[in-house]
A and B are shown apart, each in its own frame.
Chain A
Amino acid sequence: MNVLGETLEITVIGLSVVFLVLLLLTIILKIQGWLMETFFLKKKKRSTKQNKEDKRIIKKEKKIRAVIAAALDSYLNDYPSEFNIQEGKRMQKYKIKIDDEIYEVEVERVDEDNNEIKSINKSSSQSKSKFSTVSKNTNKPTEKESTAKKRAAEIKRKNKSTTSGVSEDEVEIKAPMPGQILMISVAEGDEVQEGDHLAVLEAMKMENDITAPKDGVIKEVFVKEGKEVNSGDNLFIIN
């Protein structure tokens, strides 16, 4: 019984001291972290301003996309014959120009009456040439762009739900921790499926597999084998 009491005493004292020390450190570090944030608030404010700017642009983008989606949807409903897809293909591509920005729209025919808008992407200068062949095929629809544009405004109010069909299909894959890229198993343009192996990142003498979070095509590879990365660095973009 004596042993028991004495041991219990030591256990209680020991544990509480360990907790006391580490709790104290936790609190001090918390305060320190808070001070750091307050101290560097100026920098942060500016960045939030920037964020707001970014958000505004994204919002505008979204609006434009919604308009396009709505316009094209109603246009195709009104002129179903325009949706002349080649045999065996279910996808149709359109190019739409708004305020000097060119948007590429992919439309999929689900059945006779229903079309689903797959994606709307702002085309960069590089991909313009790439898709020039496509625009030939879709000449007719682009001619009638202006009608679609006019309709867009009125439809926008009614038809907000169409925006749900629009998705931004780009996913950035970032380095989850600092380390070195040992191996890259994909190249730009490769098709990958969810769970496919993309690269090996070595951190703390441990090899970690970076895998694809979804199906898609590797749009861009930012790193080379042997490169040191920091956490948060971009590794890939999957489209």
Chain B
Amino acid sequence: MTDKIILFLQASGFAQLSWGHIGMIIISAILMYLAIFKEYEPLLLIPISFGIFLSNIPGTGLMSGPTAKTVGGLLHYLYEGVRLGIYPPLIFLGIGAMTDFGPLIAQPKTMLLGAAAQLGIFTTFFGSRLLGFNPAEAGSIAIIGGADGPTSIYLTSLLSPHLLGPIAIAAYIYIALVPLIQPPIIKFFTTKKERAIEMGQMRRVKKIEKLIFPILVSLIVGLIVPQALTLVGMLMLGNILKESGVAKRLSDTASTSLINTITILLMVSVGASLKAEQFFTLQFISIIGLGLSAFALSTLSGLMMGKLMYYLTDGKINPIIGAAGVSAVPEAARCSQKLGNEANPGNFLLMHAMGPNVAGVIGSAVAAGVLLSILG
């Protein structure tokens, strides 16, 4: 009788509980608190933190693969969607069905702002290499500078899956922190007069142009950087569903139910993949630091390109929309809108900033494709 009790107790969680587990459970509790009571990106943080929480209750086998005796845990199978790079492109499908590329089509030159804002990716790659990360790891860390969650997860899962948890956390932290990180950088490098520039009305984009766009982008990206087509192709599929106007059911599903479902699965598996031994290391701290520098440099390079365009067009382009070239949609565009409006109450840059913003999504996906083809 007592033997059985002891055996049961040994199999229970308490016997296997380590300090690492306790630490991770505390962290998940803090994240849950931030998500629920501070409403800090709750849609992402609740599933992530609960994933961390579940996988750190020891002895459950939720994350373990199949053995001779068992079939393997649920989260292990959900994680396959991350490992094989399935979830991020599906998220892109939903984003495509939500995105209006009209502002970009109306002002094609803002596309270059989206390209310039990818500079931070490569400078951070450099920094990561200097800190001793191997090329594949450095590429994964660098992509945080693209400020695009799904792209970061996609590239990391294919290049260096062991860093997935920390990189996903860092990427989403900085995307959530866009309203705090960008304004000081923008304010420091622009004058109030520049921020006050109004950009006027955009030309109206015809439906046919919006239909050509997804096909055109897929074709060009696919031909030049085949590895980027997984993400860009899905993005454009979602977009053509939306713009066609005749597949409303599909585009509605992609932009609501599908993207929400995938977000839950993706986030809970990313959370579950976070291990205590990854979290409390110097490596994690350096990833957080490198992520921040990647982000700041991307903002800065976009801003500088904006300045260049400001001078080339005789002040017709407001330089702060360059900072929206980091892809975080639509937080970065909102940031430009807020700062522009602050400098001049009659200034509405939101739509103009959406151009570089969505170009940034394409830009970071292309950058990920390049890194994948060189390092993969």
Residues of A with Cβ closer than 8 Å to B? 3, 6-8, 10-11, 13-15, 17-30, 32-33, 36, 40, 174, 176-178, 195, 203-206, 208-209, 211, 213, 231-232
Kindly list chain A residues whose C-beta atoms are within 8 Å of the C-beta of B126: 7-8, 11
Q: In the complex, what distance in Å separates the CA atom of A43 from the CA atom of B13? A: 75
**Known A11-B125, A14-B122, A206-B337: A26·B112 in contact at CB below 8 Å:** yes
Minimum CB distance partner of A37 in chain B? B203
Contact B221–A33 (Cβ < 8 Å): no
Chain B residues whose CB sits within 8 angstroms of the CB of A211 once the complex forms: 345-346
Name the segment of B64-72, B74-82, B113-121 touching the other chain: B113-121
Q: A23-B111, A29-B111 are in contact. List 8 more A-B contacts (CB 8 A).
A: A10-B371, A14-B122, A15-B118, A204-B334, A208-B337, A209-B341, A209-B345, A211-B345
- Using Cβ atoms and an 8 Å threshold, which residues of chain B touch A22? 111-112, 114-115, 359, 362-363, 366
* Partner-A contacts on B (CB < 8 A): 104-106, 108-109, 111-112, 114-115, 118-119, 121-123, 125-126, 129-130, 135, 138, 201-203, 206, 209, 212-213, 216-217, 220-221, 224-225, 330, 333-334, 337, 341, 345-346, 348, 350-351, 354, 359, 362-363, 366-367, 370-371, 374-375
From A230, which residue of chain B is reached at the shortest CB distance? Answer: B204
| Contact of B351 with A177 in the complex, beta carbons under 8 Å | yes
Find out whether the CB atom of A231 lies under 8 angstroms from the CB atom of B370: no
- Name B348's closest neighbour in chain A (CB-CB): A176
Residue of B nearest to A204 (CB): B330
Across the interface, do B334 and A18 meet the contact criterion of CB distance under 8 Å? no
- The verdict on A177 contacting B374 (CB below 8 Å), with A14-B367, A18-B366, A25-B216 known, is no
List of B residues within 8 angstroms of A28 by Cβ = 216, 220
Chain A contacts for B108, CB-based, 8 A: 25-27, 29-30, 33
In the complex the two chains form, is B129's CB within 8 Å of A7's CB? yes
A238 to chain B, nearest CB (A): 12
Task: Given A22-B359, A24-B220, A32-B209, answer yes or no on A13-B370 (Cβ-Cβ < 8 Å).
Answer: yes
| Interface majority SS (helix, strand, loop, mixed), chain A | helix
CB distance from B236 to the nearest CB of A (A): 12
Report the separation of the CA atoms of residues A195 and B122 in the bound assembly, to the nearest whole angstrom.
44
On chain B, the residues within 8 Å of A14 by CB distance are 121-122, 125, 367, 370-371, 374
Whether A32 pairs with B122 at a CB distance below 8 angstroms is: no
Give CA–CA (A149, B351) in the complex, Å.
51
Residue of B nearest to A195 (CB): B345
- CB neighbours (8 Å) of A213 from chain B are 346
Q: A40: which B residues are within 8 A, CB to CB?
A: 206
Asked if B350 and A15 make an inter-chain contact with CB atoms under 8 angstroms apart, the answer reads no
A205 to B43, CA, bound (A): 15
CB distance from B324 to the nearest CB of A (A): 12
A29 vs B106: C-alpha distance in the bound complex, in angstroms?
9
Q: For the complex, give the distance between the alpha carbons of A166 and B153 in Å.
A: 63
For B106, B213, B217, B350, the residue with the greatest tally of chain A CB atoms inside 10 Å of its CB is B350
User: Contacting A3 at CB < 8 Å: which of B123, B130, B224, B371?
Assistant: B130
Q: Which one of A7, A33, A208 contacts B341 once the chains associate, using CB atoms below 8 Å?
A: A208
Question: B123 — which chain A residues lie within 8 A by C-beta?
Answer: 11
Q: List residues of chain A with CB within 8 A of the CB of B362.
A: 21-22, 25
Q: Nearest CB to that of A179 among chain B residues?
A: B350
Within the complex, the shortest CB–CB distance from B89 to chain A, in Å, comes to: 18
Nearest chain B CB to A229 CB, angstrom units: 12
**B217, B220, B345, B371 interface centre (most CB from chain A within 10 Å):** B345
Measured CB to CB, the nearest residue on chain B to A173 is B346
Q: How far is the CB of A178 from chain B (nearest CB, A)?
A: 8
Residues from chain A with Cβ under 8 Å of B213 in the complex: 29
Please list the 3 inter-chain residue pairs (A to B) with the smallest Cβ-Cβ separation, ordered nearest first: A176-B348, A29-B108, A11-B122
Q: Which residues of B contact A32 (CB under 8 A)?
A: 105, 209, 212
Q: How far is the CA of A36 from the CA of B106 in the complex (A)?
A: 11
A205: B residues at CB distance < 8 A: 330
Cα-based distance from A11 to B354 in the complex (angstroms): 27
The CA-CA distance from A18 to B109 in the complex, in Å, is 14
Complex CA–CA separation, A169 to B360 (angstroms): 42
Residue of B nearest to A196 (CB): B345
Question: Quick one: closest A residue to B109, CB to CB?
Answer: A26
| Residues of B close to A209: CB separation below 8 A | 341, 345
Check if B115 sits within 8 Å of A206, measured CB to CB: no
Which residue in A11, A21, A27, A178 is a CB contact (below 8 Å) of B221?
A: A21
**Minimum CB distance partner of A17 in chain B:** B370
Q: Are B111 and A208 in contact (CB under 8 A)?
A: no
Cross-chain pairs A/B with CB under 8 angstroms, 29 sampled: A3-B129, A3-B130, A10-B122, A10-B371, A10-B374, A10-B375, A11-B125, A13-B374, A21-B224, A21-B225, A22-B362, A22-B366, A25-B216, A25-B362, A26-B108, A28-B220, A29-B104, A29-B216, A32-B212, A33-B203, A36-B206, A177-B348, A204-B334, A204-B350, A204-B354, A211-B346, A213-B346, A231-B201, A231-B351
Contacts of B112 in A (CB 8 A): 19, 22-23, 26
**Least Cβ–Cβ distance between A63 and chain B, in angstroms:** 30
